[in-house]
Structure 1
Amino acid sequence: MKLKLVLVEPEGMINFGFILRLSKNFEVDELAVVRPKFQVDHEEVLRFAAQGKDYIEKVKVYESYEEALEGTKVCTSAKVSGTDTVRDFVLPWELKEYVGEPEVLSLVFGRESVGLTREELSKCDLLLHIPASKNYPVLNLSHAVAITLYEVWKQYRLERGNLPQKPSEKDLEVFMRVAGELAERFVGDEVKRERILIGVKRLISKASKSELRSLLYLLSRCSSFLKG
């Protein structure tokens, strides 16, 4: 899937620098900028982009909003409504449920000052809203981009190999067998023993594979020592 970020008339160079960095963090394929209010490769922009400054090569500037849009278009807004069709929304973690796996996913963000107009919103396929305090629901542009890209990353691009491996059912069975042997040796009360083992099982169900194996090694060594 091609991931495209569309910024409509961005106004702040610092925000844009942060967004360059975020685009590199979350592997955005293209950063489309519609009528920016500054030079996109300005020294101030690149300073705040930090190690993401080389991402400037993937930035494309457009004069037309329509020309910048591509594929499945998801607009974003802090202003939403349950009765206004244009402002009917979905939440970031529901995105994949609604749009599936499109060839191109365009995430559209409006101006820092006024966001997107109704006409611009109407050209999108979906409106995405990040819920926040009703007393102050409007997020900074780069913060909204960060939250949205993170949700997209979780739903579409995060590989299991990047995360700690979970133990298999076989690993859990072996661990519980050894734990059961030790509990039977040291806890005479059957009811208490069963309660302890239930607690142990719930605890290890949250462990990673490497954590479980370390605990199993310790229990196995204890069991071997006791056997003599």
Structure 2
Amino acid sequence: MRVRVVLVEPEHDGNIGLVARSMKNFGFNDLWLINPKVNLGLEAKALASKAQDLLSNVKVVENLEDALEDCDYVVATTATVGRSPSNLNRAHVTLREFSRKIYRLNTKVAVLFGRESRGLTNDEISRCDLVVHIPTDPAYKTLNMAAAASITLYEISVARQTQGKFEYASWKMRQRLLNVFEELSKEVGLPPHRIRLAKKALRNVISRGPSSRREVSLILGTLRRATDKLKTR
């Protein structure tokens, strides 16, 4: 399993340095920054310690799509846990559950860490396959970005040592499936609000467990054929 660490609009260069150091500790080297609010200054370099090479090779992009384009599975980290059973946004799992879930994947996984001040937006979370939270004391739930990254990378490093091989459907492939499903839903006359709910439900289903490339390809082909058939009636 290959892991990309993505920091969304980081606000303190020291945290970037600490994340780089944790990545080096646990054997990761793919660090991306989305629209950072600070430059990599002396504090980042000092706190990175012997992970200076990661800072030198960091990728900086303007938006989420650029950071995730070649990734297969996308994970959001958050301190907020959804509790309503009627909420079709992302299901939340603990970090330990996540590590058990992905141990088989032989693929590229992007892990997103949000802004220090307000985390990830709902829109950003909606584009991810899974939301992971680290259980903490309810009296003070929020972890510092660098601490959250360090704990997360440790758990992933343990899971990575036991991984098997699994040809996973890429993030882009699953997005195509969702788009074709939406197109088909419009063709059969579903109202917009039902389409939105159904699309969220399908996204949750295909993200709940590892979906193989073959499985998604078969479903995608079937939906495309049905859509084309309806268009030519």
Q: Same fold (TM over 0.5)?
A: yes
**Number of positions where the alignment pairs a residue of Structure 1 with one of Structure 2:** 158
Corresponding letter in the other structure for 1:37: K
Q: Which residue of 2 aligns with 1:192?
A: none
Partner Cα distance (1:58, 1:101) in 2: 26
Q: Which residue of 2 aligns with 1:133?
A: 137
Match of 2:92 among 75, 80, 89: 89
Structure with larger RCO (C-alpha < 8 A, sep 6+): 2
Map 1:1-228 to 2 at 5 A: 1-40=1-40, 42-69=41-68, 70-83=71-84, 84-99=87-102, 100-157=104-161
Contact 1:71 1:102 in 2 (8 A): no
The two structures have a TM-score, normalised by structure 1, of 0.65
Partner Cα distance (1:102, 1:125) in 2: 16
Per the TM alignment, residue 52 of structure 1 is displaced from its structure 2 partner at its CA by: 1.3
Corresponding letter in the other structure for 1:15: N
> CA deviation digits over 1:9-28, x for unaligned, max 9?
00011111111111111122
Contact 2:15 2:145 in 1 (8 A): yes
Unaligned runs of 5+ in 1: 160-228
> CA deviation digits over 1:168-189, x for unaligned, max 9?
xxxxxxxxxxxxxxxxxxxxxx
Partner Cα distance (1:153, 1:117) in 2: 27
Per the TM alignment, residue 86 of structure 1 is displaced from its structure 2 partner at its CA by: 2.3
Q: Which moved more, 1:149-158 or 1:119-128?
A: 149-158
Larger Rg: 1
The two structures have a TM-score, normalised by structure 2, of 0.64
Please give the root-mean-square deviation of Cα atoms over the aligned residues, in Å: 1.7
Contact 2:90 2:129 in 1 (8 A): no
| SS of 1:105 mapped into structure 2 | strand
Pair 14,158 (structure 1): closer, same or farther in 2 beyond 3 Å: farther
| SS of 1:46 mapped into structure 2 | helix
Pair 2,39 (structure 1): closer, same or farther in 2 beyond 3 Å: same
| SS of 1:107 mapped into structure 2 | strand
Q: Which residue of 2 aligns with 1:198?
A: none
Per the TM alignment, residue 82 of structure 1 is displaced from its structure 2 partner at its CA by: 2.2
Partner Cα distance (1:154, 1:67) in 2: 28
Partner Cα distance (2:76, 2:141) in 1: 17
Per the TM alignment, residue 96 of structure 1 is displaced from its structure 2 partner at its CA by: 3.8
Identity %: 37
Contact 1:71 1:103 in 2 (8 A): yes
Partner Cα distance (2:101, 2:23) in 1: 23
Corresponding letter in the other structure for 2:72: G
| SS of 1:90 mapped into structure 2 | strand
Contact 1:79 1:87 in 2 (8 A): no
> CA deviation digits over 1:187-207, x for unaligned, max 9?
xxxxxxxxxxxxxxxxxxxxx
Contact 2:17 2:55 in 1 (8 A): no
Pair 158,25 (structure 1): closer, same or farther in 2 beyond 3 Å: farther
